[in-house]
């Protein structure tokens, strides 16, 4: 299991991440309507300096590859759950969406070929699906973080479980290191 001491990024106020099996980071950026040709290789610190924090201008997308999964982290104004994006990301494959809202709530969704296989909010009790989903996200999360009450700050444990399920070590080194980075402008700007 990934060490929780290497997951400090998971405590950020807002975390929006999509994992996609078998697609390239450039392909993932195109599904966001962002041009991979405009991406610069930047560390997270460089991206923060370059783009600042101007939520009205858009969101910073940082994409990468870990094993057979590509991922896209969004800073400031998440769009990865917007109309059609998750469906496009999961077309012909699996996609996992995670959103932690600063006002509360941790949503996890598993999509396959445009359809939702599982969708649940962490810490909210509810019945498990009658048939276990192939990745078994809800079951693994409930086992791995079942001791945490709703609203507890066990984000490092959440990501340790997700890393084990997918084999994607989304630790501080990967997330904060050099990745293709692009500003996806808001359509109304």
Enumerate the domain spans of the chain: 4-180
User: What was the pLDDT predicted at 171?
Assistant: 78
pLDDT in tens, 144-169: 454 444 444 555 566 667 777 777 77
Q: Extract the tokens encoding 162.
A: 């997700």
Low-confidence stretches of the chain (pLDDT < 70) are 1-14, 53-56, 76-77, 80-81, 102, 104, 122-160, 186-189
Give the Cα separation of 23 and 94 in Å (integer): 10
The predicted model scores a pTM of: 0.79
| CA 106 to chain CA centroid, nearest Å | 11
| CA 158 to chain CA centroid, nearest Å | 12
User: What was the pLDDT predicted at 179?
Assistant: 94
Q: Extract the tokens encoding 70.
A: 């590509």
Report whether 158 contacts 145 (CB < 8 A). Answer: yes
65, containing H or E segment = strand 58-66
Paired residues of 99 in beta bridges: 16, 107
Cα→Cα distances 87→17, 78, 94, 104, 113, Å: 15, 16, 10, 25, 7
Beta strand 40-42 with 94-100 is unpaired
User: What was the pLDDT predicted at 28?
Assistant: 93
User: What was the pLDDT predicted at 162?
Assistant: 72
């Amino acid at each position: 299991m990934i060490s929780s001491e290497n997951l400090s990024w998971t405590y950020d106020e807002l975390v929006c991440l999509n994992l996609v099996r078998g697609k390239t980071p450039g392909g993932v950026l195109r599904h966001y309507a962002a041009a991979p040709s405009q991406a610069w290789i930047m560390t997270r610190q460089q991206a923060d300096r370059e783009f600042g924090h101007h939520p009205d201008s858009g969101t910073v997308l940082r994409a990468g590859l870990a094993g057979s999964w590509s991922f896209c982290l969004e800073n400031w104004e998440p769009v990865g759950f917007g109309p059609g994006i998750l469906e496009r990301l999961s077309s012909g494959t699996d996609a996992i969406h995670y959103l932690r809202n600063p006002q509360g709530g941790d949503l996890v969704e598993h999509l396959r070929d445009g359809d939702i296989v599982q969708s649940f909010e962490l810490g909210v009790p509810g019945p498990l699906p009658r048939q276990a989903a192939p990745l078994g996200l809800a079951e693994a999360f409930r086992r791995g973080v079942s001791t945490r009450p709703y609203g507890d700050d066990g984000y490092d444990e959440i990501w340790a479980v997700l890393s084990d399920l997918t084999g994607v070590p989304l630790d501080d080194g990967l997330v904060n290191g050099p990745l293709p980075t692009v500003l996806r402008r808001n359509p109304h700007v």
